[in-house]
Amino acid sequence: MTNHHRARAHGLLGIPFLLACALLLGAHFFVGQTFFKNGFGQEKEMLELRKPLGQMSKENLDRYNFKTNLNISPEVEDALGAKDYLSWLFVDSSVKDLKDPLRYIRLFVTYYSGGRDLVPHTPDECFLGAGYQAIEKDNMTLPINSLDLDMSIRALTFQKSDVFGRDKPTVLYTFHCNGDFTETRTGVRARINSPLNKYAYFCKIEISFGGASRDIGSPERSESIEAAREFLNVILPRLVNDHLPDWESATRENEPVADTSS
């Protein structure tokens, strides 16, 4: 063997090469075991709500008074495929004008858990199907002081032209997914499909304003965003602390137990 070939063989089988092989094999073993243990590519296990959404207390919500359930047709309910949901109308008692759209708050919450590669439904598509066009859409953060966090949320303003005028409703929504807030479907999928998680759930929280009659209309976009922030500061602690799963507890139970026999 020539000196050149000896040097090349030494480089291929030297200590750096062997260390690299060992690291790759270790990573393959560790990641493979983690993927297998947590069911990567398989259905995630379900996490039950602490209490059904429909049992949420409607009392002592500051200036917000529960008005009524907003009925959903059987067809829409079937399309949602949600494990649990609520669709409620609240009245902001601080707004005295009965025709002010900010007086009326629609809260729509859906919950999903378990399964495989769940795809969240969002107003982006639903409003298009109803003949609206999105004219402004932004992902932003809102300070939720009652939970001591800045919450990611998406704000969409739509427009629909018809013989009765040009309605421009603004809808805001966010997801609480595996213990954290995210405003995008991509964020939900990343959390749900993570090989590190045995369980998976997400809850979509959607806020909009305005009454059922056409003469009330919709508030301005900036007004809707601020009013949503104020309402979410009141309703979110009740939803997160009383109803949504305790993610920290669920993941703690799934952690491997340390071997103390040695």
pLDDT tens sequence across 61-80: 999 999 999 988 888 788 78
- Asked whether residue 165 is domain-assigned, the answer is yes
- Asked whether residue 142 is domain-assigned, the answer is yes
Q: How many CB atoms lie within 10 A of CB 186?
A: 9
Whether 167 and 197 map to the same domain: the answer is: yes
pLDDT digits (tens, 9 = 90+) for 169-184: 999 999 999 999 999 9
- Asked whether residue 209 is domain-assigned, the answer is yes
Whether 129 and 72 map to the same domain: the answer is: yes
pLDDT for the residue numbered 212: 63
Whether 145 and 169 map to the same domain: the answer is: yes
pLDDT for the residue numbered 258: 46
Whether 23 and 129 map to the same domain: the answer is: no
- Asked whether residue 221 is domain-assigned, the answer is yes
Whether 62 and 32 map to the same domain: the answer is: no
Whether 104 and 15 map to the same domain: the answer is: no
To 5 degrees, how large is the angle CA 34–CA 38–CA 41?
Answer: 100
pLDDT for the residue numbered 200: 93
| Full residue range of the structural domain in which residue 129 is found | 53-250
Stretches in the chain below the pLDDT threshold 70: 1-42, 116-119, 161-166, 212-214, 253-262
- Asked whether residue 195 is domain-assigned, the answer is yes
Q: Which of 85, 221, 233, 227 is nearest to 151 (CA)?
A: 233
Whether 156 and 240 map to the same domain: the answer is: yes
pLDDT for the residue numbered 262: 42
Domain count, the chain: 2
Whether 159 and 100 map to the same domain: the answer is: yes
Whether 23 and 77 map to the same domain: the answer is: no
- Asked whether residue 258 is domain-assigned, the answer is no
pLDDT for the residue numbered 169: 93
Whether 142 and 90 map to the same domain: the answer is: yes
Whether 24 and 88 map to the same domain: the answer is: no
- Asked whether residue 144 is domain-assigned, the answer is yes
Whether 205 and 95 map to the same domain: the answer is: yes
- Asked whether residue 121 is domain-assigned, the answer is yes
